[in-house]
Structure 1
């Protein structure tokens, strides 16, 4: 969800030779499909596709290939580190943060090679500050993640960054930040979740839906945002939305639509990655089918195929620097 930033003038020539190179149609298609699978927590099947673009010099593919390898292996392997380094050398701030992590197994085993983690962190902070000073909200968020102060995240949110707004609301909800006036924390949380939702940031939409549900929002508003989030491809929202339009149960005034409910749940059941989606889909599909005849079920499958043509891919919307 978050793109990458340039490292330093020293690497300009190296950066230009790769970052400005255009992927072929086939390489771009592989990258796009790899990122879709990655965001469905399919960290194994995403790797061969991401590797095609990574080997062609695409730094986004290099970073996410490193992530997929790390997550599937449960630690930063030598190969994952290789791809982080490739991305970091092209200016990827998140790759630099990964390379500076004290949790990297090679640091524990004292087998790390190349530039030290401290050097990568210095680079990341230097370039992030330069870019943040020019209004780059992504760099501001990186500075917050790198423990440079909550003020950076607040600046990103105030500048209109949907992810920054979502993250700030979540941080406030966790108890961070100072609020002297009673009730002002809850108002700020609602304000920033709403701003993120209205920005079209899917995780922000989902958490704003939850915020409305927990804080007495109208059924119509909760139903509206749940539907909108599901339509954006948010897997967890789709699980809930499908059950609601199947009236299992219905809580938000959403009309009964068994064909649509079956189609959405059918898509979830076919996911091959991790997370709640496939499991919930397989568990809920028979419950919905019990209320349908065979003709309706076939209509549901046909609905799913048409939905995939006109809507974004299903996704957990994994943060660029998460897990």
Structure 2
């Protein structure tokens, strides 16, 4: 009987220890994710130093993607992979982050002037492809995009293009935007006519924009303006002003404020075809953008139009601005595997 009671007590003790461990692990995971999210917002606001502190804290708690971004910021600061950035990339790679593997697979230009990368870059490239390929074939669009980057590093532009296209066809918003860039700016793919190429650029941008990707909204509005499709362009100008993308909000606020006066100030190609200026609404959006970011450009847009803005208009815009972009971090939508 005594032996039975002892076993129960031991079991209860072990159960308590296990529960405490699991609770601690859960708390640690939640803290890591919180640090990561805070760091990611700062990173998307070009605040590398402050975001690095958050990413380091998350990485120390085992957050894989935070380790990748920590490595990335350090590499960007030095313009090459240092030992510290390599260690963070290795941590992320061991956690399954394909882009970390690809950083370790990149050419000698990222190793610094002494070329001291003492690891097998080809092996990392092979590992990245072996990791991403099964997931991509199973329909994982993020893996498809990672695989496209792997083929780009490998020097296979056809496969690179094909995997971006597959991701786009499967609904990946950034891939759809990137297809437009590849077709339009990079002139990838074969077309019999420029009209056919341009039509596909617009179609991919529309698909991405309709999913809410603000970089696509902005690019689509600009492309439509260029070819005189003002009605649809105006729709996206209005839409992108409600996003959290800095460049889109700046363009939207300026276009709404100026209306047809954009042609007078900046040339005919700057006109979205609005029937009249809406100085209060546009200036309010620009004031809110300045409030949230501290950047000068929104105020410079207002200053360029100040001859048309009465004190009453500015007072009204100031009041309205307090209702706009409230508690909304303004981002720049930097790609994960960018520069």
Q: Which range, TM-score by smaller chain?
A: 0.7 to 0.9
| TM-score normalised by the chain length of structure 1 | 0.80
Question: Is 2:64–2:91's contact at 8 Å kept on the other side of the alignment?
Answer: yes
Question: Is 2:79–2:112's contact at 8 Å kept on the other side of the alignment?
Answer: no
Compute the displacement of 1:105 (Å). 4.2
Map 1:120-269; keep pairs closer than 5 Å: 120-146=124-150, 147=152, 148=156, 149=159, 150-173=161-184, 174-180=186-192, 183-217=195-229, 219-247=230-258, 249-250=261-262, 251-252=271-272, 253=274, 256-269=277-290
Which structure's relative contact order is higher, taking Cα pairs within 8 Å and 6+ residues apart? 1
CA gap 1:123/1:254 in 2 versus in 1, 3 angstroms: farther
Distance 1:190 1:151 in 2: 19
Structure 1 portions without partners, runs of 5+ = 1-16
Higher helix share: 2
CA gap 1:107/1:194 in 2 versus in 1, 3 angstroms: same
The residue that corresponds to 1:313 in the other structure is 329
The residue that corresponds to 2:338 in the other structure is 322
Distance 2:70 2:275 in 1: 40
Compute the displacement of 1:303 (Å). 4.3
Q: Secondary structure at the match of 2:49?
A: coil
Q: Deviations over 1:68-89 (max 9, x none)?
A: 2223333333322222221111
The residue that corresponds to 1:91 in the other structure is 96
CA gap 1:43/1:129 in 2 versus in 1, 3 angstroms: same
Distance 2:124 2:275 in 1: 51
Q: Secondary structure at the match of 2:241?
A: helix
Q: Secondary structure at the match of 2:236?
A: helix
Q: Deviations over 1:34-84 (max 9, x none)?
A: 211211222222222222222211122222222222233333333222222
Compute the displacement of 1:319 (Å). 1.0
From 36, 48, 53, the counterpart of 2:53: 48
Compute the displacement of 1:265 (Å). 2.4
Distance 1:182 1:104 in 2: 36
Distance 1:50 1:254 in 2: 48
Distance 1:246 1:58 in 2: 44
| TM-score normalised by the chain length of structure 2 | 0.77
Of 183-192 and 166-175, more deviation after overlay is shown by: 183-192
Distance 2:292 2:54 in 1: 17
Structure 2 portions without partners, runs of 5+ = 1-21, 263-270
Compute the displacement of 1:285 (Å). 4.3
* Structure number, greater radius of gyration: 2
- Alignment RMSD: 2.9
Give the total of aligned pairs. 297
